[in-house]
Structures are given as structure tokens and as C-alpha cells.
């Protein structure tokens, strides 16, 4: 999840700056470029290595045993694991100017973290909406198979973009008049995780959590330095 979040951030003109695995995280203030991401894809998907090797390869900071939420950013993308952002982590992100949280996992933010995001008016995309792309793409694949069609990657991406844009629109219409319109989540989804129990184990080779600062030109937002953590 985190690897391809970085890919999309680069496409949009943002500057992803962090990636993490279960051992720690790297902070590349120069940005994780497409060329550097190619190294990560080989490192994680082929050689099954640790993200610390990125720091050795590109001469950037590596922090062992920590999560990346202390890095200043415009947006954060918690990926792959549950209960990844605690209440204290949320407070740090908000203090450091984070404006967007888009979840790339099932319930990566604790209930305490979510309450802080909403209170601070942070743009919060819960996993049930922001992480729906995998299921949506599976549906697109089934549609192609059923109709004996073959779409290009650009066509699939365009259809997926339309689906993802429809999720918050539909949700806000459904909830209009029932609760504040910016809330896309339901508190019940976190009830069973109140004790902070982690259900998604970190794999030895996986990457989790992304932060970035600034959306790019393609998104219609003025470009800024960007940061990504995973």
C-alpha cells in the first residue's frame, strides 16, 4: 500500500519523504523520487530486505524502532496495520501542521486519534472510504473479464478515480441532516479495538504508513515540499 501511495504522490507532484517497516523508518528530506522508489520495490518485493538499506543506499536519516509521525508533513497515510496512530501521535501530527489523514488500512487510527483529527478540523479519510480502491479495482477486473474487454492502465485509473470520488459524495448525501457532514466514519467500527489490540501483524518485509507534505500541480493545489512515511 505504502509503495504505491508514494508512486501516486510523485505523479501528483508531491514530495514523499518517509517510508517505514517494522524495524523503523527512513526520512529522505530530498524526496523519494520514482528512481528511488524503484529501489524500494526491488528491495521489498524481490529481495525482501529492510527499509534501513534505503538509508545506506541514498545517505538519508534512518530511525530505528520508531514510527514516522514525528516528521513534519502536510498529509499522513497510515498503511497496512491497525492502531498505528495513537492519540499522542495524532497530537504530534496536528502540532506539526498535518492537514490531511488518508487511511490505507483497516482502522489504523485509534478512536482517540480520530476524535483529535475531527476536533482539529483535519481532513480525515477513514479506511472504509480512502482504502476502498483495492476492492473497486477487483470489481473493474471482473467487469473486464465478464465483457471480454481489456482496458489500459490509464483507463482503469480513470474509472477508479471516478469511483473513489463518488464515495465521499454519496456518504455525505446519505448522512445529511443526521450528523456533521465532514464525518464519514461510524464510531462502532472501533469499538472492538478500544484496548489497542493490533490485529494486522506487520510482515517481515512489508511497508506501512505514509506521510507527505503538499499536493502537486496535477491536483490543482499549489505545489509545496511533500513528505511521505511508510
| Grid cell for residue 123 | 481532513
pLDDT of residue 211: 60
38 CB-near residues (< 8 Å, 6+ apart): none
What is the sign of the dihedral through the CA atoms of 87, 193, 132 and 118?
Answer: negative
- Select the more confidently predicted residue: 142 or 189: 142
Average predicted confidence (pLDDT) for the chain: 81
pLDDT of residue 163: 87
Q: Is the pLDDT of residue 197 over 50?
A: no
Q: Is the pLDDT of residue 215 over 50?
A: no
pLDDT of residue 166: 86
Q: Is the pLDDT of residue 1 over 80?
A: yes
- Select the more confidently predicted residue: 123 or 178: 123
Q: Is the pLDDT of residue 92 over 90?
A: yes
User: What pLDDT, in 10s, does the model give residues 149-174?
Assistant: 999 999 998 998 998 888 777 655 65
Query: Is 161 exposed, middle or buried (CB count within 10 Å of its CB: 0-12, 13-18, 19+)?
Result: exposed
Whether pTM > 0.75 for this model: the answer is no
pLDDT of residue 167: 78
Q: Is the pLDDT of residue 181 over 60?
A: no
DSSP the chain: -HHHHHHHHHHTT-EE-EEEETTEEEE-TT---HHHHHHHHHHHHTS---THHHHHHHT-EEEET--GGGS--SEEE-BSSTT-B-HHHHHHHHHTT--EEE-BSSS-B-HHHHHHHHHTT-EEE-HHHHT-HHHHHHHHHHHHHHHT----HHHHHHHHHHHHHHHHHHHHHHHTTTS-TT----GGGGGGGTT----SPPPSS--B-EEEE---GGGTS---------
Residue 149: phi and psi, rounded to 5, are: -110, 160
pLDDT band, very low/low/confident/very high, at 130 (cuts 50, 70, 90): confident
Q: What is the largest CA-CA distance in the chain?
A: 53
Q: Is the pLDDT of residue 184 over 90?
A: no
User: What pLDDT, in 10s, does the model give residues 37-81?
Assistant: 999 999 999 999 999 999 999 999 999 999 999 999 999 999 988
- Torsion angle, alpha carbons of 189, 85, 8, 120, to 10: 80
| Grid cell for residue 124 | 480525515
Mean pLDDT calculated for residue range 118-136:
89
Which residue in this structure is represented by grid cell 510482515?
203
Q: Is the pLDDT of residue 198 over 60?
A: no
pLDDT band, very low/low/confident/very high, at 25 (cuts 50, 70, 90): very high
Amino acid at each position: 500500500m505504502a509503495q504505491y501511495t508514494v508512486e501516486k504522490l510523485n505523479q501528483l507532484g508531491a514530495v514523499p519523504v518517509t517510508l517505514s517497516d517494522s524495524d523503523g523508518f527512513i526520512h529522505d528530506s530530498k524526496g523519494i523520487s520514482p528512481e528511488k522508489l524503484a529501489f524500494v520495490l526491488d528491495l521489498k518485493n524481490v529481495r525482501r530486505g529492510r527499509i534501513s538499506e534505503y538509508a545506506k543506499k541514498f545517505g538519508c536519516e534512518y530511525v530505528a524502532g520508531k514510527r514516522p509521525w514525528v516528521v513534519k508533513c502536510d498529509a499522513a497515510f497510515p498503511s497496512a496495520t491497525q492502531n498505528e496512530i495513537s492519540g499522542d501521535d495524532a497530537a504530534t501530527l496536528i502540532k506539526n501542521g498535518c492537514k490531511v489523514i488518508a487511511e490505507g488500512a483497516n482502522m489504523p487510527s485509534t478512536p482517540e486519534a480520530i476524535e483529535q483529527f475531527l476536533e482539529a478540523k483535519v481532513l480525515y479519510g477513514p479506511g472504509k472510504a480512502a482504502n476502498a480502491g483495492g476492492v473497486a479495482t477487483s470489481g473493474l477486473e471482473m467487469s473486464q473479464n465478464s465483457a471480454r474487454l481489456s482496458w489500459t492502465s490509464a483507463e482503469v485509473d480513470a474509472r477508479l478515480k471516478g469511483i473513489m470520488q463518488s464515495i465521499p459524495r454519496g456518504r455525505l448525501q446519505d448522512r445529511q441532516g443526521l450528523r456533521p457532514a465532514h464525518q464519514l466514519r461510524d464510531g462502532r467500527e472501533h469499538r472492538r479495538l478500544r484496548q489497542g489490540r493490533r490485529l494486522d501483524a506487520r510482515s517481515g518485509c512489508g511497508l506501512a504508513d505514509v506521510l507527505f507534505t503538499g499536493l502537486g500541480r496535477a491536483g490543482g493545489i499549489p505545489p509545496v515540499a511533500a513528505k511521505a512515511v511508510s
